[in-house]
Amino acid sequence: GLPNRHLVQPARIVGLDPGRKALFTAVVHSQQAADSLQGERPAQHRYNSLSWSCSRWQEAAGIKYKLHKTELWISRKPELHAALLATPTAKVASSAQFLHHIRHRMQHTAAAQIHFGDRRHRQLRWRSFIKRQQAYSAICKEISGGRKETVVAYGDAKFSSSCCKGNPSTPTVSLRRKVGHCCQRGVAKIADPTATVCDCVSTQHVLVYCGTGT
């Protein structure tokens, strides 16, 4: 677990659960809300929740803009577009079929390099990189609330390639790393998966980050 000095009246405790339909859903701990739930009357105080949908993430990170521009530019070169769409799959059972895939790729490599390596594509990739970093910064700031000594209990999501088909992929690992870079990392082992955010130091498969926030 974490040293007690990290858990003495933290300014902010956040329980975060990454997902596929939403990039993440988080709950900010409130002692008043926790005490209110123990009472017989309806809860007078509620936990504050945070969430980023996949659509919001793609918009903020410039993914939608990049996809739109890429599709627009390739549509203006129908021959190259048709060649790329006609590329044989590399998931084959024989070396002869894989060689067919390689030959097709090599036949159109020069044209593809000229198209995707031009100045506008390079500028688009650079713009997308900047937008993605800005989106990560906005997320980390929202999670930490701009406070120091923020504690984040990060759910140990492990999605397989067959999980949640039909939903866009989300940067689960990258987000965890970004949060970890902003905080001092510690791993807490847990026995009860239903533990509350307050019990984050004694929960299983949860990464706990303590640090300065952003």
- The residue among 169 and 49 whose pLDDT is bigger is 49
Neighbours of 142 (CB within 10 A): 15
pLDDT in tens, 149-205: 777 877 766 555 445 555 556 787 788 888 777 665 444 434 445 555 445 443 433
- The residue among 139 and 172 whose pLDDT is bigger is 139
Nearest to 183 by CA among 10, 9, 58, 30: 10
> What SS3 class is residue 201?
helix
DSSP 104: H
Mean pLDDT of the chain: 76
Nearest to 12 by CA among 202, 142, 144, 141: 144
pTM (two decimals):
0.73
Domain ranges for the chain: 4-54+147-211
